[in-house]
Every structure is written in C-alpha cells, then in structure tokens.
C-alpha cells in the first residue's frame, strides 16, 4: 500500500486554516488580494478565471465582485462529472452550492478559451508552483492544456519547499501570499 506524500501537508494546511482567528484571516486575505491586483497579468486582463472559495480558503468573493464591477468577464468552475466546466458569472448572486459544498455558477455561457489568467485554489503550494489540492485532480485536468498565466493563492505558512508533485501535476506561474514579495516559481 502506497502512502500519498501530500497527505501530511494537506492535514497540516487544514489545521493551520482552522487555527486562524477571524481577524487574522480577514487581514491575510486582504493582503493576498492586494498582491493579486498588483500582478499585471491579472489586473490588465479583460477576462479572468477565478474560483468561489470554501469558508476556510482565501476569500475570493471580494475579488470576484471587484472584477465584475470593473467590467471584466469572470468565469468560475462548475463540477460536471470528473471535469471542471468554466461558466461565465456576471453576478455572485447567481452562485449556488454545488459539488463538495463549493459555490458554483448556474449560467449556461461557457468559456472556450485556455489563454486567460486563472487563479487556482490549493491547500498548500511549493516554491516551484506545484500545489496540493484536495486530491481529486480536477484542477490538474483543467490545467493540463492551459496556456494562460496561472496564479496560486496561499497563506505564507502553507508555502513549502516541496509538495511532492506527481508526474501529472501542473505548476502555477506565480504563488501569491500575504507577504509583500511575490513567490516566483519556475521560469516564465
């Protein structure tokens, strides 16, 4: 029986998130959001792919709403079978709880592009841009042919030297934490 080397990192990251008090989380999330808006690949894009966060994940709702307010086309994932479908989301009011208790869009207009900047969740990341998600492979399948700039949002304490990537894992181009310096990953 083989053991997943990411399992202890996932457990640690979940415990870390659970241990953040509300004030700490709000401040860290705001700092990470500020880092995201400083990235020209994201700030200057007319269309972006984001995700609707679970309660203990970095809160993306303010990012989604600000993008919509600025007139950006926003796409959010919806689980369909073993794939993520990217759905145009003109308003957060249309989100409904979907697979894995994640808020999902209800629209019908799908994103047919793979060249947009995409912000992906992760329990933990490493300095090479690899992520440890929840272990279902949804984002690895989505990112396999993604050509747009890939961004990971991560609490600094959940950024490790390695997350023990598998052969099929796809790294992000940039990991953003609440600290002022962006964590550069592989050559861009």
Interatomic CA distance for residues 130 and 137, integer angstroms: 13
User: Which of 154, 149, 147, 114 is CA-nearest to residue 131?
Assistant: 154
- Please enumerate, by residue number, every residue annotated as part of a binding site: 6-10, 57, 131-139
- Please enumerate, by residue number, every residue annotated as part of a binding site for substrate: 57
Query: 77 φ, ψ to 5°?
Result: -80, 150
- Please enumerate, by residue number, every residue annotated as part of a binding site for ATP: 6-10, 131-139
Exposure class string for 39-60: b at 16+ Cβ within 10 A, else e: bebbeebebbbbbbbbeebbbb
């Amino acid at each position: 029986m083989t053991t997943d080397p990411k399992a202890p990192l996932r457990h640690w990251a979940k415990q870390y998130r659970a241990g953040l008090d509300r004030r700490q989380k709000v401040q860290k999330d705001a700092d990470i959001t500020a880092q995201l808006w400083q990235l020209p690949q994201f700030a200057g894009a007319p269309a972006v792919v984001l995700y609707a966060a679970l309660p203990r994940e970095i809160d993306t709702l303010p990012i989604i709403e600000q993008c919509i307010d600025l007139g950006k086309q926003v796409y959010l994932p919806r689980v369909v079978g073993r794939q993520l479908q990217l759905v145009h989301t003109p308003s957060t009011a249309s989100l409904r709880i979907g697979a894995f208790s994640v808020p999902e869009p209800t629209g019908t207009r799908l994103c047919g592009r793979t060249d947009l900047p995409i912000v992906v969740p992760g329990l933990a990341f490493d300095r090479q841009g690899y992520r440890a998600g929840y272990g279902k492979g949804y984002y690895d399948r989505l990112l396999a042919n993604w050509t747009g700039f890939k961004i990971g949002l991560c609490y600094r304490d959940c950024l490790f030297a390695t997350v023990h990537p598998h052969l099929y894992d796809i790294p992000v181009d940039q990991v953003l934490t609440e600290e002022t310096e962006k964590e550069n990953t592989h050559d861009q």
